[in-house]
Structure 1
Amino acid sequence: MSWPTATDVVLVNAIQLSVNVGAECWGRSRNQPVTINVYLHLKPNFLDTSGQSDNVTDSIHYGHLTKDVSTLSESSYDGVRALIDSATTKAFYIAGEHAEAIRVVVGLPKLILLAEGFEVELITPIGQSTFRQAATVTVKDLVMPILIGVNPPERLAKQRVITNITFHEKPGVHMVDYPAIVKQISGEIEQTAYLTLEKFVLHIVRSACLASEAIESVTVRAQKPSALSFAHSSGVEITRSRDAFR
């Protein structure tokens, strides 16, 4: 594995806002809790100057970045990507000629009822449109009670399985109803019993890949927190492209 020789990033994590980006978990279009993470990927060695001078004016002022991004709560947006585009525009303005790309991750912690979080991530190189980039969408810590396991006690009662699903979209703007996809997958899982996590995970990967033409590939990680006495959990992770199921 090769490591980057030089990276310079200024970031602000978890800016908390209340924003209307469309339907919330109950299907109503209104303000909902939103977190925004912004990463300014700067030209190599840009931060050397402030690192040597110890002067904040030689760097990017993340206080100004936070203030500008916080004003996004004053508007409504036609979806998460539109919100990310506005945050990206503000970040490029703050960074000026020093930015090579902007990465924005927007979290909607209340969008998926049985999950701990839902995130959309976009990386936009300088001079390009956010709406042309490929999004990464993650459903975090989806908790489902599943009949799973090979040991006799595991066949008697359902146990919690914690699942993370990451969708890698094709470039461009796509109208994908992720809450509906998660609901469909959860419904399929509830009617099924498994002996192994491998079978469980591959089932979800296949269903998720085929849920929309916009999806390029899917990564699913599932963990059983009750499986081992002296470990947090046991787990399986599988990544497949949509083409694997055609």
Structure 2
Amino acid sequence: MQAHTVHYWELIQKAGQPHSTIRVRNLQTSLVVGRDAWGREGKAQPVLISASVSLREPFQSASNEDAVTGSTVHYGILSKKILDSCKLFSETSEETTPKTLSDLAREIESGLTREQVASSGLTPAPALLPSSIVKLLEIKIMLPKASLLGEGVSLTDLSLYAHSEEGSGSAEKTYVLTLHNLKIPTLIGVNPNERLSKQLVVATIKIDGIYPPASHFYHVLEEIVVKTIEESSFQTLEALAMHVGERIMKYFVCPICRSGIDPRITISLSKPTAVTFADAPVVEITLETNPGLNPTMKPIRRNAINTPQPLFPLQGRLDEWISSNDVIIESPIGLGP
């Protein structure tokens, strides 16, 4: 069954609150997948894989009998199946196309939800997670060493399954690309002392509903975010967040995310040193890239065909590159480049 793509929050709302969930967190392995912190392909790196399985029915018999029964999922077998899928993924050739995070997510999902092909003449092994048992499956793949200034890059694959006694095709799906906790020095703040020196801003960026192939360009997204923040001098986190969102829409979403649904961009910014007796003040905004929902996107979409994509790696300042390439950011909120 072909999956229908929606946004993460809509999928969670449609699934409803889960009553029975089995999770495996941060299963560790090493794979040649995605890009390293310098944007290079074909490099082995550590991978952390988490899976969350929401069951269609409560695991009543398993709790009553205090045993692993058909009403639940054995987390040991779940872990083994994930690692088996990683092994199959590592054995595939990279000669024609690079191995991406979305490819790995699909390999893991297939290994968990579809019948396993058997040798000739033998009956295929049943799926570990058939749609008759599983309602919602979330697979998160984290690359903790794939970011120069952050705590890692992750891709989350969330699937909501239609009930079926025979097949296991997902009815609805979404992908979320996340840059975790980028630590970037910048001039930010309204107080006189804050205008004298740079301080760290911690940024987490989520692209909800990203077209799977576009998630392979997270190194470009990080460069845009880092250079935009470090070159800025805003007084408020709110203004900085909107400025970052506008740059992402113009230089990442429009040139790279050309297919699929219009993604949503969530930007979370914090200043760890701003409040002495708190961990940090945090500002978070979510921006639509659908022009019908966000007027900011209308001029960006109109100019998209003439908008060049920043080089990677970009030597020098991003704002100077924008100026030299005669790219004008049209901003209805008046923030400017």
Question: Fold-level match, TM-score > 0.5?
Answer: yes
SS of equivalent to 1:37: strand
User: Structure 1 residues 173, 138: closer, same or farther in 2, change over 3 A?
Assistant: closer
1:216: how far off? 1.3
Residue 84 of structure 1 is aligned with which of 102, 105, 115? Answer: 105
Segment of structure 1 superposing worse, 84-93 or 219-228: 84-93
Residue 179 of structure 1 is aligned with which of 219, 226, 246? Answer: 219
Question: Which amino acid in 2 is paired with 1:134?
Answer: T
SS of equivalent to 1:125: strand
Residue 216 of structure 1 is aligned with which of 260, 263, 271? Answer: 263
**What is the rounded CA distance, in whole Å, between the counterparts of 1:173 and 1:180 in structure 2?**
15
Question: Which amino acid in 2 is paired with 1:43?
Answer: R
Q: Is the 8 A contact 1:148 1:155 kept in 2?
A: yes
Residue 158 of structure 1 is aligned with which of 198, 203, 215? Answer: 198
Q: Is the 8 A contact 2:53 2:138 kept in 1?
A: yes
1:87: how far off? 1.1
SS of equivalent to 2:69: helix
Q: Is the 8 A contact 1:137 1:167 kept in 2?
A: yes
SS of equivalent to 1:174: helix
**What is the rounded CA distance, in whole Å, between the counterparts of 1:23 and 1:29 in structure 2?**
7
Question: Which amino acid in 1 is paired with 2:200?
Answer: R
2:42 match? 29
Residue 181 of structure 2 is aligned with which of 124, 129, 141? Answer: 141
- % identical aligned pairs: 26
Which protein shows a greater Rg? Answer: 2
1:6: how far off? 5.0
| TM-score normalised over the length of structure 1 | 0.90
**What is the rounded CA distance, in whole Å, between the counterparts of 2:218 and 2:41 in structure 1?**
15
**What is the rounded CA distance, in whole Å, between the counterparts of 1:28 and 1:173 in structure 2?**
17
**What is the rounded CA distance, in whole Å, between the counterparts of 2:52 and 2:283 in structure 1?**
30
**What is the rounded CA distance, in whole Å, between the counterparts of 2:109 and 2:245 in structure 1?**
31
2:24 match? 12
> Does 2:116 align with 1:95?
no
1:69 match? 82
1:116 match? 151
Deviations 1:13-55 (A, max 9, x none): 110110111321231412111111111221132x122122211
Residue 243 of structure 2 is aligned with which of 197, 203, 215? Answer: 203
Segment of structure 1 superposing worse, 23-32 or 7-16: 23-32
Q: Mapping of 1:188-199 within 5 angstroms?
A: 188-199=228-239
Q: Mapping of 1:234-245 within 5 angstroms?
A: 234-242=281-289, 243=291, 244=294, 245=296
User: Structure 1 residues 133, 174: closer, same or farther in 2, change over 3 A?
Assistant: farther
1:153: how far off? 0.9
**What is the rounded CA distance, in whole Å, between the counterparts of 1:73 and 1:30 in structure 2?**
15
Indicate the structure with greater strand content. 1
**What is the rounded CA distance, in whole Å, between the counterparts of 1:237 and 1:23 in structure 2?**
27
User: Structure 1 residues 212, 4: closer, same or farther in 2, change over 3 A?
Assistant: closer
The number of equivalent residue pairs is 242
Q: Is the 8 A contact 1:147 1:155 kept in 2?
A: yes
**What is the rounded CA distance, in whole Å, between the counterparts of 1:6 and 1:129 in structure 2?**
17
1:165: how far off? 0.6
| TM-score normalised over the length of structure 2 | 0.67
**What is the rounded CA distance, in whole Å, between the counterparts of 1:4 and 1:52 in structure 2?**
25
1:57: how far off? 3.1
1:11: how far off? 1.4
**What is the rounded CA distance, in whole Å, between the counterparts of 1:209 and 1:163 in structure 2?**
16
